[in-house]
Amino acid sequence: MLPETFRCYLVDKDAEGRVTGRITEVPTANLPPGDVVVRVDYSSLNYKDALGATGNPGVNKTFPNIPGVDVAGRVVESGVYEFCEGDEVIVTGFDMGTNRWGAWGDYIRVPQDWVVPMPADLSIRESMILGTAGLTAGFLVQALLDHDVTPEKGQVVVTGASGGVGCFSVAILAKLGYEVVAVTGKESAHPLLESLGAAEIARREAVSDSSGKPLLKGRWAGAVDTVGSAPLSTILRAMKHGGCAAICGNAAGFDIPDMTVFPFILRGITLTGIDAAWCPIPLRHQTWEKLAGEWKLDCLDRVAQFVTLEQLPGKIAEILDSKITGRVVVAISDEAKSESLL
Ligand SMILES: NC(=O)c1ccc[n+]([C@@H]2O[C@H](COP(=O)([O-])OP(=O)(O)OC[C@H]3O[C@@H](n4cnc5c(N)ncnc54)[C@H](OP(=O)(O)O)[C@@H]3O)[C@@H](O)[C@H]2O)c1
Mean pLDDT of the chain: 97
CA of 315 to the centre of ligand 1 (A): 15
Same-domain check for residues 257 and 330: no
**Distance (Å, rounded) from C-alpha 84 to C-alpha 128?**
21
pLDDT over 70, % of the chain? 100
Helices 124-146, 281-292: inter-axial angle, 10-degree rounding: 110
pLDDT value at residue 138? 98
Return the CA Rg of the chain: 20
* Residue nearest atom 39 of ligand 1, based on CA coordinates: 185
336 secondary structure, DSSP code: H
For residue 1, pLDDT over 90 is answered with no
308 falls within a domain: yes
Confidence band, pLDDT 50/70/90 cuts, at residue 61: confident
Same-domain check for residues 264 and 314: no
pLDDT digits (tens, 9 = 90+) for 67-106: 999 999 999 999 999 999 999 999 999 999 999 999 999 9
Mean pLDDT within 46-64: 92
Confidence band, pLDDT 50/70/90 cuts, at residue 215: very high
**Distance (Å, rounded) from C-alpha 19 to C-alpha 65?**
11
Write the CATH number for 103: 3.90.180.10
Q: Is 59 helix (H, G, I), strand (E, B) or coil?
A: coil
**Distance (Å, rounded) from C-alpha 12 to C-alpha 34?**
23
Same-domain check for residues 153 and 266: yes
106 falls within a domain: yes
185 falls within a domain: yes
CB-count burial class (<10 Å; 0-12, 13-18, 19+) for 217: exposed
pLDDT digits (tens, 9 = 90+) for 134-162: 999 999 999 999 999 999 999 999 999 99
Residue 200 domain boundaries? 133-273
CA angle 251, 254, 258 (to 5 degrees): 115
pLDDT digits (tens, 9 = 90+) for 227-272: 999 999 999 999 999 999 999 999 999 999 999 999 999 999 999 9
8 Å CB contact between 264 and 287: no
CA of 165 to the centre of ligand 1 (A): 7
pLDDT digits (tens, 9 = 90+) for 193-202: 999 999 999 9
pTM, full prediction: 0.97
pLDDT value at residue 157? 98
pLDDT value at residue 342? 87
Same-domain check for residues 47 and 167: no
> Which residues touch 257 (CB under 8 Å, ≥6 apart)?
229, 230, 233
292 falls within a domain: no
For residue 132, pLDDT over 90 is answered with yes
278 falls within a domain: no
Determine the residue type at 288: W
Alpha-carbon separation of residue 211 from 131, 162, 214, 230, 267 (angstroms): 38, 27, 9, 11, 19
Write the CATH number for 248: 3.40.50.720
According to DSSP, the residues that pair with 12 across neighbouring strands are: 20
pLDDT value at residue 217? 97
Same-domain check for residues 96 and 137: no
**Distance (Å, rounded) from C-alpha 158 to C-alpha 200?**
11
Same-domain check for residues 144 and 264: yes
Domain tally, the chain: 2
Pocket of ligand 1 (CB under 6 A): 46-48, 132-133, 136, 160-166, 184-186, 189, 204, 226-227, 231, 248-252, 274-277, 319, 322, 324
Closest CA to 71 of 111, 38, 46: 38
* Residue nearest atom 17 of ligand 1, based on CA coordinates: 47
CA of 228 to the centre of ligand 1 (A): 9
pLDDT value at residue 10? 97
